[in-house]
Amino acid sequence: MSAHNEETDELIGASRQLTADAAAAGQRLDQWLAGRLGPDLSRSRIQALIRQGAVQVGGQVVTEAKHKLASGDTVTLDVPEPEPAEPQGEAIPLDILYEDDALIVVNKPAGLVVHPGAGNWTGTLVNALIHHCGDSLSGIGGVRRPGIVHRLDKDTSGVMVVAKTDHAHRVLSEAFADHGRTGDLRRAYVALVWGIPARPSGTIDAPLGRASDRVRRAVVPATRDDARHAVTHYAVEEWFGEGQAKYATASLVECRLETGRTHQIRVHMAHIGHPLVGDRDYGQAFRSKANRLPEPEATTVREFPRQALHARLLEFSHPDTHIAMRFEAPMPGDMENLVDAFRNI
What residues does each domain of the chain span? 6-79, 89-178, 183-345
Contact 142, 151 (CB under 8 A): no
Instruction: Give the type of residue at 263.
Output: H
Is 153 one of the annotated active-site residues of the chain?
Answer: yes
Q: Find all residues with CB under 8 Å of 26, minimum gap 6, and list them.
A: 68, 69
CATH superfamily of 6-79: RNA-binding S4 domain (3.10.290.10)
**Model-level pTM?**
0.73
H or E stretch at 51: helix 43-51
Round to whole Å and give the CA distance between 168 and 113: 22
**Can 89-178 and 183-345 be said to share one CATH topology?**
yes
Give me the phi and psi of 205, to 5 degrees please. -115, 95
pLDDT tens track for 288-319: 888 888 899 889 999 999 999 999 999 999 99
Round to whole Å and give the CA distance between 90 and 345: 42
Round to whole Å and give the CA distance between 92 and 229: 36
Predicted local distance difference test score (pLDDT) of residue 337? 95
pLDDT tens track for 272-290: 999 999 999 999 888 888 8
pLDDT lower than 50: segments of the chain: 1-12, 244-247
Predicted local distance difference test score (pLDDT) of residue 87? 83
CATH superfamily of 183-345: Pseudouridine synthase (3.30.2350.10)
Round to whole Å and give the CA distance between 247 and 270: 18
For the domain made up of 89-178, give the CATH fold.
Pseudouridine synthase (3.30.2350)
Predicted local distance difference test score (pLDDT) of residue 5? 36
Q: Find all residues with CB under 8 Å of 44, minimum gap 6, and list them.
A: none
Of the residues 30, 153, 155, 279, which is catalytic? Answer: 153
Predicted local distance difference test score (pLDDT) of residue 41? 67
Instruction: Give the type of residue at 132.
Output: H
Contact 271, 207 (CB under 8 A): no
